[in-house]
Structure 1
Amino acid sequence: MGRRKGRAISGWIIIDKPAGPTSTAVVNKVRWALNAAKAGHAGTLDPAATGVLAVALGEATKTVPYITDALKCYRFTVRLGQATNTDDAEGEVIDTSDSRPTDDDIIAALPAFRGEIMQVPPKFSAVKIDGERAYALARDDEEFEIAARPLWVESLDLIERPDADTVVLEMVCGKGGYVRSIARDLGQALGCLGHVVTLRRTWSGPFDADNGISMEQVEELAHTPALDDYLQPLEIGLADLEQARCAAGAATRLKNGNPASVICPHAEFGETVWASDNGQPVAIGTYMGGELHPTRVFNL
């Protein structure tokens, strides 16, 4: 395979994604605009969703798993009284209800969706069923079941109730959460049905939508140094890990994939940490009594 051409730039660009494009389309546009050799993202957003899409460039792609595992915050609007086949406004209405809960009913139902819960992803999702994407099976009207999977929900709160048919909620959750499933299951629990109308990811790990740039800005500043100014350092993606400092000569050993001495007073044996040399990220690995055993090495 030929090497992909482009600049070897590393870091993060935080996009405030508009409704419409897929997450992959956003990444491709950012990579084109920066002429970057390598890019990826930390956590897909549905095309209709807006908010934080953290695009990793170059060596920052090695830190993506740590952002994917971090907590994320979603603010979303649920339309009560209607179930759709996609659990959002894109789909067809498959059931309706005249029942409408009070605000107190909604508040009383929310605790069941907090903490460690079991969640069944929507049928129109990228979950794989016997090697096939669920949405492909759903489009073909195939009958299939999706297994429930655990999800950590840190918080789920009622933000406002604009009218009898509409409720705005905010959820902070861990990896792999489907907001559409929350809307569907809450609607069922309340006996009134429900689906997501709007969805915005306000923050993801260390990244905030308010600090994101728009796709218009990306287009406008494409191929100019001004776009590089929005590049955030790779190590922001490692904010949840302890930082170790390389002892003399350790950086070279780590870069070659060998264990080396590091100084990390707050790390416990077996903890995943990252090591820096003069402030520059060198490696991520397992801390074992004064030594870092590298699992990922940065070529900066």
Structure 2
Amino acid sequence: MQDEISSPSSDEAPQAPRGEARRHDGPPRNGRRPQRGRPRHDRPKKNDVSGWVVLDKGVGITSTQAVAIVKRLFNAKKAGHAGTLDPLASGILPIALGEATKTVPFVMDGRKAYRFEVSWGVETDTDDAEGKPVATSDERPTREAVEAALPNFVGEIEQVPPRFSAIKIQGERAYDLARDGEVVELVARRVQIDHLSVIEHSGDRTVIAAECGKGTYVRALARDLGRLLGCHGHVSALRRTRVGPFEEANACSVEALEESTEAQLKPVETALDEVPAVAVSRDMGLRLMRGQPVILRGQDAPMEGKAYATCGGVLVAVGDVERGELVPHRVFHLGGTAPQPRN
């Protein structure tokens, strides 16, 4: 919805003399452009909302556009997402609001699951259906041939990312260089693929389920699988079914979010499902919020590794436990129920 423009008041600018044309282009003589839209002091105040929205992103919008939609619906001050989905892809796009943005790395590092369709016979320059054909074949693999080839891509493998990807080359995005016609040579990276299986197969296409780690490109997987089978291939449909602790069962559409925002907002610590939690006293919570370490006591206290602390059930900090001491790396300010540091 566009900002409303208020009607001219009694101090409106004088009308141009009859016969003279008004200027509608260029800045005024004082070098300042007239203010457009609603005056800043009249704009709605942004909300201090924190939490996760597990959006089921539809085909046709970018991840950035999806974040903007969610941010607008909540009127939130801050928002970000945990893992880009291409416009042609659908599925789980976790969106962090407010203090939840501090936990994005934990979700980004989590395992991911996909369901994708490979169309055989054509390899494209983008490795998906949007690209231009660069190689073709009349060969088509059998289901048995696809299943026999999949183990070659399970485990820790070397994978060359697609030319059209967000990877930076000397400060430039690979997809920007590729669109400008430059030859993009990307270096192979080590990625972890835990599981691959065939769900459906017909003569021209195969639907595959995948579970993998951070940095894996499904488009590159389809490309390399087609090359190995000698028939070429590209991703023609892609859906992400899980990101870290977030699954399809947790997800909501934009339409559901428009009906009720609060019902779809999940606590900040949902992103920390795989991190041990420890309850601390108010004094310890205040120390953590000042960035100071605290000694953990009790039989169940973690001795090493990542952990997050709560005070009165409210998330206070996340950090590393070193020799029984929690060293905070991120502190959280989640409202009146959280301990507030004293000046």
1:203-218 alignment, distance < 5 Å: 203-218=242-257
Question: 2:234 matched to which residue of 1?
Answer: 195
Return the TM-score normalized by structure 2: 0.82
TM-score (structure 1 length as normaliser): 0.93
Q: Secondary structure of 2:71's partner? A: helix
Against the structure 1 CA distance between its residues 248 and 299, is the aligned structure 2 distance closer, same or farther, given a 3 Å change threshold? Answer: closer
Query: Counterpart of 2:276 in structure 1: which amino acid?
Result: E
Answering whether residue 101 of structure 2 is matched by residue 58 of structure 1, we say no
Residue pair 2:77, 2:98 contacting (<8 A) in 1 also:
yes
Q: Match of 2:222, as an amino acid? A: A
By how many angstroms is 1:121 displaced? 0.7
Equivalent of residue 237 in structure 1, options 263, 271, 295 = 271
Matching of residues 1-300 of structure 1 within 5 Å = 6-161=46-201, 163-218=202-257, 220-221=258-259, 226-247=260-281, 249-263=283-297, 265=300, 267-269=302-304, 271-300=305-334
Secondary structure of the structure 2 residue equivalent to 1:249: helix
Question: Which string of whole-angstrom CA distances, capped at 9 and with x for unpartnered residues, describes residues 52-82 of structure 1?
Answer: 0001011010000000000010000000111
Q: Secondary structure at the match of 2:296?
A: strand
Instruction: Give the percent of matched residue pairs that are identical in Structure 1 and Structure 2.
Output: 49
| 1:185 maps to amino acid | D
In the alignment, the residues of structure 1 paired with residue 102 and residue 297 of structure 2 have an alpha-carbon distance, to the nearest angstrom, of 22
> What's the offset of the Cα at 1:206?
1.0
Greater relative contact order (Cα 8 A, min sep 6): structure 1 or 2? 1
Gaps of 5+ in 1: none
Task: Tell whether the 8 Å contact from 1:244 to 1:275 is kept in structure 2 after alignment.
Answer: yes
Q: Distance in 2 between matches of 1:5 and 1:194?
A: 50
Contact 1:15 1:209 (8 Å CA) reproduced: no
Q: Per-residue deviation at 1:261?
A: 2.6
**RMSD of the alignment, in Å?**
1.4
Q: 1:247·1:262 contact (CA, 8 Å) conserved in 2?
A: no
Gaps of 5+ in 2: 1-43, 335-343
Which structure carries more strand by proportion? 1
Query: What amino acid sits opposite 1:189 in the alignment?
Result: L
Deviation (angstroms), 1:247: 4.0
* CA distances 1:215-257 after superposition (whole Å, capped 9, x unpaired): 2233x33xxxx31121001110001111122145200000000
The structure whose Rg is larger is 2
CA distance in 2, matches of 1:190, 1:115: 19
Between the aligned partners of 1:65 and 1:85, the Cα distance in structure 2 is 30
